[in-house]
Structure 1
């Protein structure tokens, strides 16, 4: 294969090389194969054979989306918005008739925290502290919630009235999957082009994040066809889909276009995820 130039268009150039972002693991492997990787944060973007849009905000600003005018191939160029309003298939309105548990989430990705941090008036640490106690929240006014603290309610009638009036929040059917020991179970599909790596994690907590995982296991089986249909609909080239299989149905929880891999998993385990994914770029070169 001829050596190519890959452009990473990002809002966080330092984090691209040293962080838990998947991209920080992939870049050294591409460089070892002789490819050149260039990083850019603003127009005019550098010349390259292919570009990867890697902006850690719920909605990618227009200035970054302009890269489609410069490059022949822009990975994730057709997936600029991963808000729950776009991704979720199970949102509820106040007038909907539904009996069963529900979960309140932010419409923004990862609890709305990246968007708050990017705002000129935002202070994500302050917001994190203020939203850690759900009992004292002003549900009508908040813009973010600690993502590990999304509350689950027994019924939609128990949801605070302010939630329904807040455009930054959504109410979703709570459709969990359990393992044989009664732990919550979540599946993740890491994907890049025609490559995918599937895993399953368990937790005692209903909202599973890296800090509360009890176990993790790579799966030999491919992603369900229903998940691939959702991926095609979202037009996501690179990232991670978090989902469950609840009562035989695929339930998509999240679609992350700047996916991360917890360093708590260990480098050997991470390598089993990253090396197959690193070949996904070859489809576009």
Structure 2
């Protein structure tokens, strides 16, 4: 049995207690996999910050921020093996295959997004908690950009958008369907995975407006990209465009989709098997 350490930011709340029975809960998908691993006999310790020096066989770098601060990366290097140690920058400017510049020849629709994960909400939360504690902001200047702006063409994008490091402009390329649009979501941990194609009546496909979904294979080029980006565990959002996979978003701290809880829970044991595979390989 392995000793597992979960490295979180000191101002992040990986888990909490809720309800009259004070049951433990978490907004993160990893929580459910860890609960399954504990049922199998492994021990789990959640570390807040970088001060603790516990004995552990394997760690997970689970700092909920687009770019993991250097001190957490160095801390993670002190463990015998750490998942996602290579996946420390998931900014869309770095990982998205749809990002384009103002002089690109693309003539279709475009979309403006935050380069930060989840609109910059994690950074804003950590900054706010740091200020409350009388500490410096870990991500100074980070701002929430919680709206997607779709434009008919690049010519409609204000010039100042291209000058902002916190924003990106992407080709807007949802997969068209007779009854809507599709996007694909690949969850993985080690060698275990689940990849599904979700169809929505909305061109911006989200889990809560899915009208149907189906299992689909993972394209080889996406597997190669996962290796290149250093992901052991996480979620990739992508579409198929002109016969090839285009990665739109990569998340190293995927959340629990409560409106899809039964669907997500069905795969927890499978992903926990993948985690155990990594334990056997590295611990």
- 2:155 aligned counterpart, secondary structure: helix
Spell out, residue by residue over 1:90-145, the C-alpha distance to the aligned partner (whole angstroms, 9 max, x if none). Answer: 2112222321111111110111111122224999xxxxxxxxxxxxxxxxx99332
1:66 positional shift: 1.5
Length-normalised TM-score, structure 2: 0.85
- 1:91 aligned counterpart, secondary structure: coil
Aligned residue number for residue 60 of structure 1: 68
Task: Tell me if structure 2 keeps the 8 A contact 1:177–1:245.
Answer: yes
The 1-side partners of 2:109 and 2:102 are apart by 14
1:262 positional shift: 0.9
Aligned residue number for residue 129 of structure 1: none
1:208 positional shift: 2.2
Spell out, residue by residue over 1:7-50, the C-alpha distance to the aligned partner (whole angstroms, 9 max, x if none). Answer: 00012344375233111111110001000000101223422100
1:174 positional shift: 1.3
Change (3 A) 1:34 1:112: same
- 2:15 aligned counterpart, secondary structure: helix
Task: Tell me if structure 2 keeps the 8 A contact 1:103–1:151.
Answer: yes
Bigger shift: residues 31-40 or 55-64 = 55-64
The 2-side partners of 1:282 and 1:143 are apart by 38
1:261 positional shift: 3.1
The 2-side partners of 1:121 and 1:272 are apart by 34
Change (3 A) 1:176 1:14: closer
The 1-side partners of 2:171 and 2:73 are apart by 32
Which of 184, 200, 210 pairs up with 1:213? 210
The answer for unaligned runs of 5 or more in structure 1 is: 124-140
Is 2:188 the partner of 1:191?
A: yes
Is 2:103 the partner of 1:95?
A: yes
1:251 positional shift: 1.0
Task: Tell me if structure 2 keeps the 8 A contact 1:27–1:37.
Answer: yes
Change (3 A) 1:234 1:39: same
Counting only pairs closer than 5 Å after superposition, residues 64-79 of structure 1 correspond to structure 2 as 64-79=72-87
1:243 positional shift: 0.6
Change (3 A) 1:163 1:81: same
Aligned residue number for residue 279 of structure 1: 273
The 2-side partners of 1:55 and 1:121 are apart by 15
Task: Tell me if structure 1 keeps the 8 A contact 2:185–2:197.
Answer: yes
- 1:46 aligned counterpart, secondary structure: coil
The answer for unaligned runs of 5 or more in structure 2 is: 17-23, 132-140
Aligned residue number for residue 126 of structure 1: none
Task: Tell me if structure 2 keeps the 8 A contact 1:144–1:168.
Answer: no
1:207 positional shift: 2.2
Write out the 4+ residue segments of structure 1 that deviate beyond 6 Å after TM superposition. Answer: none
- The total of aligned residue pairs comes to 260
The 2-side partners of 1:15 and 1:209 are apart by 25
Length-normalised TM-score, structure 1: 0.85
Aligned residue number for residue 134 of structure 2: none
